[in-house]
Amino acid sequence: AQSVTQLGSHVSVSEGALVLLRCNYSSSVPPYLFWYVQYPNQGLQLLLKYTTGATLVKGINGFEAEFKKSETSFHLTKPSAHMSDAAEYFCAVSSAGGTSYGKLTFGQGTILTVHP
Amino acid sequence: GAVVSQHPSRVICKSGTSVKIECRSLDFQATTMFWYRQFPKKSLMLMATSNEGSKATYEQGVEKDKFLINHASLTLSTLTVTSAHPEDSSFYICSARTPGTYEQYFGPGTRLTVT
């Protein structure tokens, strides 16, 4: 079984400030981890993913995330927030094996608000 | 590349009628597609996994006779909500997985409102 917990359903930052969205996962097999962004009434867009290799992954729009196995975390960061970053962000876990093979399990989502 | 479309984007139907939602992979062949349901201010809930040429695999608690899924070709999967009721109103999102990868590409979603 696999699960994802996103700490904080709402995060508010000022434009230019650091963005930190937290994600912890649980998986019985080595995880594949993803961050998606969703704008209102739209589908999900992949920001970045971790499968194997380098634990610090860079994605689109200046976002990056670090896989920390010891902490079972995959937090999303961006050094400087932009107004256009305001959206809802979902962390998701999948796996290469087990009963959840290929399936994505999503966290509850975090709504990011960016103030001028 | 890896574009997924959904049709319609928005549909309103009367209680008791059936509604079909299409999910298409436009520039790749998708042997596996997924259907999700998203409630307001909630996360995505996987409803079923659709494999081309075989029966869909439904998640626990999802009524397969109510949510009919057909994956007749490598680029098209359909979700039919039968005998729709107001509680079926939701945002339905499909995704398609590129062969040989674990990455899913999502459609833009379909807003279903049952009156």
The beta strand positions in chain A, using DSSP E, are 2-7, 10-14, 19-27, 31-38, 44-50, 56-58, 64-68, 73-78, 87-95, 105-106, 110-115
B8 at interface of A, judged by CB pairs closer than 8 A: no
Answer whether B110's CB lies under 8 Å from B59's CB: no
Question: Does residue A62 have a pLDDT over 70?
Answer: yes
Give CA–CA dist A51/A38, Å, rounded.
21
Residues 72-91 of A with CB under 8 A from B: 90
Contact B43 A108 (CB under 8 A): yes
Contacts with A90 from chain B: Cβ below 8 Å: 43-44
| B88 vs B97: CA distance, rounded Å | 26
What is the per-residue pLDDT across B70-108, written as a single tens digit (0 to 9) for each? 988 889 999 999 999 999 999 999 999 877 777 889 999
Report residue B39's pLDDT band, with 50, 70 and 90 as the boundaries.
Answer: confident
Q: Which of A32, A43, A102 sits opposite B93 (nearest CB)?
A: A43
In terms of CA atoms, which chain B residue is nearest residue A10? B41
- Tokens representing B95 are 């995704």
A43, B106 in Cβ contact below 8 A?
yes
Task: Flag whether pLDDT at B25 surpasses 80.
Answer: yes
Residues of A whose CB is below 8 A from B56: none
State whether A104 and B105 contact (CB < 8 Å).
Answer: no
Asked whether the beta carbons of A11 and A81 are under 8 A apart, the reply is no
Rounded distance between C-alpha atoms, residue A85 and residue A6, angstroms: 18
Q: For chain A, give the mean pLDDT.
A: 91
Answer yes or no: are the C-beta atoms of A18 and A77 closer than 8 Å: yes
Closest CA to A48 of A66, A36, A38, A56: A36
| Helix or strand holding residue B20 (H, E) | strand B19-25
Nearest to B32 among A42, A90, A102 (CB): A102
The position carrying tokens 């970045």 is: A48
Are A106 and B102 in contact (CB < 8 Å)? no
Task: Check B6 against A109: CB less than 8 A apart.
Answer: no
Q: Mean pLDDT of all residues in chain B?
A: 92
Per-residue model confidence (pLDDT) at position B99: 76
**Among A43, A94, A106, beta carbon nearest to B43:** A106
Q: Is A52 at the interface with chain B, CB within 8 A?
A: no
Q: How does pLDDT run across A10-34, given as a tens digit for each residue?
A: 999 999 999 999 999 998 778 899 9
How many other β-carbons are positioned within 10 Å of the β-carbon of residue A79?
11
Which of A41, A51, A106 is nearest residue B44 as measured by Cβ atoms? A106
Residues in chain A, total: 116
Which chain B residues touch A49 with a CB distance below 8 Å? Answer: 103
Q: Does A59 touch chain B (CB under 8 A)?
A: no
